[in-house]
Amino acid sequence: MNTPSDSSASTILPGTVAYNQGVAQRLPLDDQQAFEDAKRGWLAAFPEGGIQREDGGTAWDMRWFDFQAGACPDSVNPSLWRHAQLNNIHGLFEVCDGVWQARSCDYANMTIVRGDTGWIIVDPVIAVETAAATLALVNQTLGERPVSAVLVTHCHPDHFGGIRGVVGDDPAQFPPIYVPENFTEAAAYEGIMAGTAMFRRSLFQFGVGLPTSPTGKIDGGIGKMPAIGTRTFAAPSDIVRETGEVHVIDGVTFEFQIASGTEAPAEFTFLLPDHGVLCMAEVCTQTMHNLLPPRGAKVRDALLWAKVIDEAIIRFADRTEIIANSHNWPVWGKDNALAYLSEQRDIYKYTHDQTLRLANLGHTPDEIAAEMVEPDWLSTRFHARGFYGSLTFNARATYQRYLGFYDGRPVNLNPLPPASLATHYVDALGGVEKVLELAQVAIETDALQWAATLLNHIVFADLATPEAKSLLATVYRNQGYRCESGIMRNVYLKGAAEIENGVQPIAALGTGRNKDLADALSLEDWFDIIAVRLNPERSRGVQLALRFFIGDRTALVEINRQTENVRTGAAATNGHADAEVTLTLEQLDQLSTHKLNVTEALAAGVQINGDAALVEQWCSLHDTFDLWFNVVSP
Ligand SMILES: [Zn+2]
């Protein structure tokens, strides 16, 4: 086990028990059809003991979730518990003759199609360790064959990070790799500019560091959780550009639909017409998805999402016998497939339309979230429920996409920052003791969000007593215990852990950076990322121009007016430079993040034409970012 034991004393409030009992009464949780669907075609599972990394740690082990075998504990939303049990059904499954899926062998599914000469692998999951182990399981179970092609449905790392586990490390030996247009740019770019903040927040979303236990991590909605392993990248060879493109790949016909701009900026779906199998990539899953993940992202387009699913219905539904996506279990049968696609479409269309209806009636995001009601059909159709995204969060996201973060009310044009607001509130309410009293009453009357608001003000006024922190942790945990969304639960539980124990850096976590992928960034991207670290105090009055030569690429960087701009390519070869630097990308990274000073850089082979002190100055103008900033406290 690589997750810590659950040592925190966890108070389960009576309101939590009642809430979760209410969920159990309201929803048809004993519906067994999904369990039959998820088990159908099971062939084999990973060997006992899980999948290990080279450093001795465990990349994947479904025993982490063994505790979910029994009845739902009071500390878990029973709908989430049921969904978690479905995602626990793991191993290699036959979808139909010629198509298989490995499910819960990592966060995403790996789909395997039998080609004329070898295996066509769709989505080689997030980690090399799990990807290689899955391919070994396939070869062991179905017979040894080479990998004849790889398809990556979209640009999120849980679908390609393990690619070198199935194609190896020698680019000369790579099979054809098919991706949607703009895949590489999108894969490299997402999470780069706001990388530190997004990575820190993703630790909350995925509950990194939380134990898997009845009072800890339960499920990730679209699967259990990302495997903890080595992430890689391999340059694609074949680009799919248009809906309707047909490619015969190793003897198998693939009919593609472009879905870019829905769940991911670069994404395709495909039909295998000879098998009657439709893969909707991650556009459709067995849960409501995120229009905006809590880790942060650019808001996704709910309307386009609905329209792309509708287009898939028009193009593919009459030839679809089975839907086998890149997450969760399949849908079997033509009628079920059509109903499923229609409802997956409708959950995004409903969210979009109802949010804008309420916005156009004059309501603001928090009001819309409070007023938004589930469509009636959702109580019996689990595949569209919010095990990953949630209706209220998605409604706020839709508002943000169209109208932005500002709700139109003058008081919110320039609100007080949290610490200042908190100080005023605590003062106005009569001091910490009084606010604590009010919070206690709020907890007793089960007004948990109000309790959290009061206690959060104490924390941000920097007046937190151990009692206030402990109370806030209890409130957060109980809010988490009620969540149907596995990731929203994680956010609350991670918040509770950090409010009680402070920030606990995880040493082995690294930066989350995928080195293969960083190499795919453009030079302009590299310098734009560096410019995000320019410190305005230190760059006051500075005018500096440096030309960088990196391989056969050139960049001209100018700092003036406390602002840094970059030009690359032909535009970078002309123009005044105070000094010129020849170095590698890795040296640029190390220099600009102060891991290497100029003297060390020169000794390591960096060449400077001009005054080296100017390069030293340029480096010193940039901040470095610490991943472990405070989130739940000032
Ligand atoms: Zn995914």
The alpha carbon of 588 and the centre of ligand 1 are apart by a number of angstroms equal to: 32
Supply the DSSP symbol for 408: S
Return the structure tokens found at 393.
Answer: 């969060």
CB atoms within 10 A of CB 223: 28
The alpha carbon of 561 and the centre of ligand 1 are apart by a number of angstroms equal to: 42
Question: Taking a C-beta distance cutoff of 8 angstroms, is the pair 315, 414 a contact?
Answer: no
Asked if residue 633 has pLDDT above 70, the reply is yes
Which pLDDT tens digit goes with each residue over 441-478?
Answer: 999 999 999 999 999 999 999 999 999 999 999 999 99
pLDDT value at position 10?
73
Q: Identify whether residues 269 and 307 lie together within a single domain.
A: yes
The alpha carbon of 241 and the centre of ligand 1 are apart by a number of angstroms equal to: 21
The alpha carbon of 205 and the centre of ligand 1 are apart by a number of angstroms equal to: 14
Structural domain includes residue 88 = yes
The alpha carbon of 586 and the centre of ligand 1 are apart by a number of angstroms equal to: 29
Q: Identify whether residues 380 and 288 lie together within a single domain.
A: yes
Question: Taking a C-beta distance cutoff of 8 angstroms, is the pair 405, 361 a contact?
Answer: no
The alpha carbon of 102 and the centre of ligand 1 are apart by a number of angstroms equal to: 14
Structural domain includes residue 492 = no
The alpha carbon of 509 and the centre of ligand 1 are apart by a number of angstroms equal to: 20
pLDDT value at position 544?
97
pLDDT value at position 336?
98
Q: How far is CA 503 from CA 3, 61, 200, 349, 629, in A?
A: 17, 26, 11, 39, 8
Domain that holds residue 613: 522-620
Q: Identify whether residues 101 and 244 lie together within a single domain.
A: yes
Structural domain includes residue 16 = no
The alpha carbon of 199 and the centre of ligand 1 are apart by a number of angstroms equal to: 16
For the ranges 120-129, 157-166, 259-268, 521-530, the lowest mean pLDDT is seen at 521-530
The alpha carbon of 297 and the centre of ligand 1 are apart by a number of angstroms equal to: 14
Average confidence score pLDDT of the chain = 95
The alpha carbon of 389 and the centre of ligand 1 are apart by a number of angstroms equal to: 13
Average pLDDT for 188-212: 91
The alpha carbon of 57 and the centre of ligand 1 are apart by a number of angstroms equal to: 23
The alpha carbon of 292 and the centre of ligand 1 are apart by a number of angstroms equal to: 14
The alpha carbon of 123 and the centre of ligand 1 are apart by a number of angstroms equal to: 9
SS3 label, residue 308: helix
The alpha carbon of 517 and the centre of ligand 1 are apart by a number of angstroms equal to: 17
The alpha carbon of 611 and the centre of ligand 1 are apart by a number of angstroms equal to: 48
pTM of structure: 0.95
The alpha carbon of 107 and the centre of ligand 1 are apart by a number of angstroms equal to: 7
Please state, in angstroms and rounded to a whole number, the distance separating the CA atoms of residues 483 and 181: 37
Q: Report which of 298, 303, 266 is spatially closest to residue 282, judged by C-alpha positions.
A: 266
Neighbours of ion ligand 1 (CB under 5 A): 108, 156, 158, 282
The alpha carbon of 325 and the centre of ligand 1 are apart by a number of angstroms equal to: 10
Asked if residue 510 has pLDDT above 80, the reply is no
Please state, in angstroms and rounded to a whole number, the distance separating the CA atoms of residues 480 and 207: 11
Angle, vertex CA 444, rays to CA 442 and CA 446, nearest 5: 65
Please state, in angstroms and rounded to a whole number, the distance separating the CA atoms of residues 143 and 134: 13
The alpha carbon of 232 and the centre of ligand 1 are apart by a number of angstroms equal to: 16
pLDDT value at position 512?
53
The alpha carbon of 592 and the centre of ligand 1 are apart by a number of angstroms equal to: 32
The alpha carbon of 326 and the centre of ligand 1 are apart by a number of angstroms equal to: 7
Q: Report which of 336, 418, 446 is spatially closest to residue 22, judged by C-alpha positions.
A: 446
Which pLDDT tens digit goes with each residue over 314-347?
Answer: 999 999 999 999 999 999 999 999 999 999 999 9
pLDDT value at position 192?
82
Q: Identify whether residues 345 and 435 lie together within a single domain.
A: no
Spell out the alpha helix ranges (H) of 93-220. 128-142, 164-167, 183-189, 195-205
pLDDT value at position 317?
98
Structural domain includes residue 32 = no
Q: Identify whether residues 258 and 369 lie together within a single domain.
A: yes
pLDDT value at position 7?
42
Asked if residue 2 has pLDDT above 90, the reply is no
Structural domain includes residue 388 = yes
Q: Identify whether residues 327 and 425 lie together within a single domain.
A: no
pLDDT value at position 189?
81
Domain count, the chain: 3
The CATH number of whichever domain residue 462 belongs to comes to: 1.25.40.880
pLDDT value at position 517?
79
Q: Which one of 432, 464, 482 terminates a domain?
A: 482
Please count the helices (runs of H) and the strands (runs of E) in the chain. 22, 21
Nearest 10 degrees: Cα torsion 68, 72, 75, 81: 60
Q: Identify whether residues 148 and 264 lie together within a single domain.
A: yes
The alpha carbon of 328 and the centre of ligand 1 are apart by a number of angstroms equal to: 10
Please state, in angstroms and rounded to a whole number, the distance separating the CA atoms of residues 266 and 258: 8
Please state, in angstroms and rounded to a whole number, the distance separating the CA atoms of residues 246 and 280: 16
Asked if residue 4 has pLDDT above 80, the reply is no
Which pLDDT tens digit goes with each residue over 369-383?
Answer: 999 999 999 999 999
Please state, in angstroms and rounded to a whole number, the distance separating the CA atoms of residues 338 and 471: 48
Structural domain includes residue 412 = no
Q: Which one of 401, 430, 458 terminates a domain?
A: 401
For every residue of 484-549, DSSP letters joined together read: SSHHHHHHHHHHHHHHHH-----GGGTT---HHHHTTS-HHHHHHHHHTTB-TTTTTT--EEEEEE
Structural domain includes residue 501 = no
The alpha carbon of 61 and the centre of ligand 1 are apart by a number of angstroms equal to: 19
pLDDT value at position 195?
86
Average pLDDT for 269-274: 98
pLDDT value at position 326?
98
Q: Identify whether residues 329 and 471 lie together within a single domain.
A: no
The alpha carbon of 62 and the centre of ligand 1 are apart by a number of angstroms equal to: 18
Structural domain includes residue 425 = yes
Which pLDDT tens digit goes with each residue over 44-90?
Answer: 999 999 999 999 999 999 999 999 999 999 999 999 999 999 999 99
CB atoms within 10 A of CB 403: 15
Q: Identify whether residues 188 and 305 lie together within a single domain.
A: yes
Average pLDDT for 288-311: 97
SS3 label, residue 270: strand
Q: Identify whether residues 455 and 533 lie together within a single domain.
A: no
Average pLDDT for 254-274: 98
Q: Identify whether residues 291 and 434 lie together within a single domain.
A: no
Q: Report which of 563, 501, 520, 503 is spatially closest to residue 538, judged by C-alpha positions.
A: 563
pLDDT value at position 190?
77
The alpha carbon of 111 and the centre of ligand 1 are apart by a number of angstroms equal to: 13
The CATH number of whichever domain residue 561 belongs to comes to: 3.30.1050.10
Q: State the DSSP H helix or E strand holding residue 391, giving kind and residue range, or none if neither.
A: helix 391-403
Average pLDDT for 168-192: 92
Q: Identify whether residues 350 and 467 lie together within a single domain.
A: no
The alpha carbon of 125 and the centre of ligand 1 are apart by a number of angstroms equal to: 8
Q: How far is CA 480 from CA 26, 115, 237, 449, 490, in A?
A: 19, 45, 44, 12, 7
Q: Which one of 369, 401, 433 terminates a domain?
A: 401
The alpha carbon of 513 and the centre of ligand 1 are apart by a number of angstroms equal to: 18
Asked if residue 148 has pLDDT above 70, the reply is yes
SS3 label, residue 132: helix
The alpha carbon of 467 and the centre of ligand 1 are apart by a number of angstroms equal to: 40
The alpha carbon of 124 and the centre of ligand 1 are apart by a number of angstroms equal to: 11
